[in-house]
Structure 1
């Protein structure tokens, strides 16, 4: 029997340190929020939920033209931390009878569809599977149905980090997974990465 893996893109934060909505930051021709949705879709997840909170009106406009038609969740309690968005997503996954929930943020630009598929392949519905980077476990992570209740009980702004520390959690390495776009310095680094990729592409073509 095939598994139904739903995905949850976390995009509810206010991006206060960055000074602009990180969800709408452009990278390689698309905004980070749409990129994360596309990665989840290409990995085979369905449906793909996206949780909005701060400034959701502007984000809704962007999502109206997203070809992958993500299912939108509005988190009115986003100020209480990332855990509230994860809880919303877990409840939504439960409602669609998903076997697993793939949780990812919108600003980890080293995440690929291939990495997400590796998380899905490692689970077999028996284990939570976390990404491993910078000597710690984190998201993207895959949570089987047996963990949905625990996800809905999370509180605070640490997300699902506590659930990922269990010895039974499997890990898949994610090179550069510690890099996300939180500050203006991170944005500068992202732009430099994009310029380098563009330079490499032209050099390869030449």
Structure 2
């Protein structure tokens, strides 16, 4: 049985959002908690949260093991490296890691589980999500790709590895992956669309007469 862990990247400053977007609420949970729950429900273990900017505030919301990237200003590559190193320390025999971010509100356990299934079915060392004509996270990386993750630095994230190794990549559709939250306007649009969807569902539901 393969042991697949998850690293949740929550170290960013959210400068365009104006406050830690990891802690923004969506469907009665913070963005961070939603990702943690999805990873757990998809049977990822251990689940590690990498914090950096606003470390004290974000760490209070983390229910999983956390590791602080003190060099978070150097970019997402440094956070990936810190998270994977910490994961290996917790579980030396780990078979693969799923990299996750906090600003894809439509991420759920099924999206992560599909990565795992495709990895097992294809034997590919990388399974990346596809959306908006691109490849990206969430993405699964097998143990033999860890050296490349650990060599990342600066603003170059996992996508660099995915695009450079497409012959090793299996592709898993993530229809909502294009929707990410970077600004207050993005967040307001998300909340408005969610309210409209809820209203349509209520209106479409059959009415039961008593």
Shorter-chain TM-score tier: over 0.9
Structure-2 change in CA distance of 1:142 and 1:205 (3 Å): farther
Aligned to 2:130, the other structure's residue is in SS state strand
User: Hey, what does 1:129 align to over in structure 2?
Assistant: 127
Residues 24 and 32 in structure 1, CA contact (< 8 A), matched pair in contact too: yes
Residues 92-111 of structure 1: pairs in structure 2 closer than 5 A: 92-95=86-89, 96=91, 97-111=93-107
Deviations 1:150-191 (A, max 9, x none): 101001213111111112211101112121110122111111
Unaligned runs of 5+ in 2: none
Q: What's the offset of the Cα at 1:144?
A: 0.5
Q: What's the offset of the Cα at 1:120?
A: 0.7
User: Hey, what does 1:80 align to over in structure 2?
Assistant: 74
User: Hey, what does 1:172 align to over in structure 2?
Assistant: 172
Structure-2 change in CA distance of 1:58 and 1:42 (3 Å): same
Deviations 1:71-115 (A, max 9, x none): 101010000000111111211232212101010101101211111
Residues 21-36 of structure 1: pairs in structure 2 closer than 5 A: 21-36=20-35
Deviations 1:181-206 (A, max 9, x none): 10122111111132124324433375
Taking structure 1 as the reference length, what is the TM-score of the superposition?
0.92
Aligned to 1:179, the other structure's residue is in SS state coil
Residues 101 and 143 in structure 1, CA contact (< 8 A), matched pair in contact too: yes
Structure-2 change in CA distance of 1:205 and 1:22 (3 Å): farther
Q: How many residues align?
A: 200
Q: CA RMSD in A?
A: 1.4
Unaligned runs of 5+ in 1: none
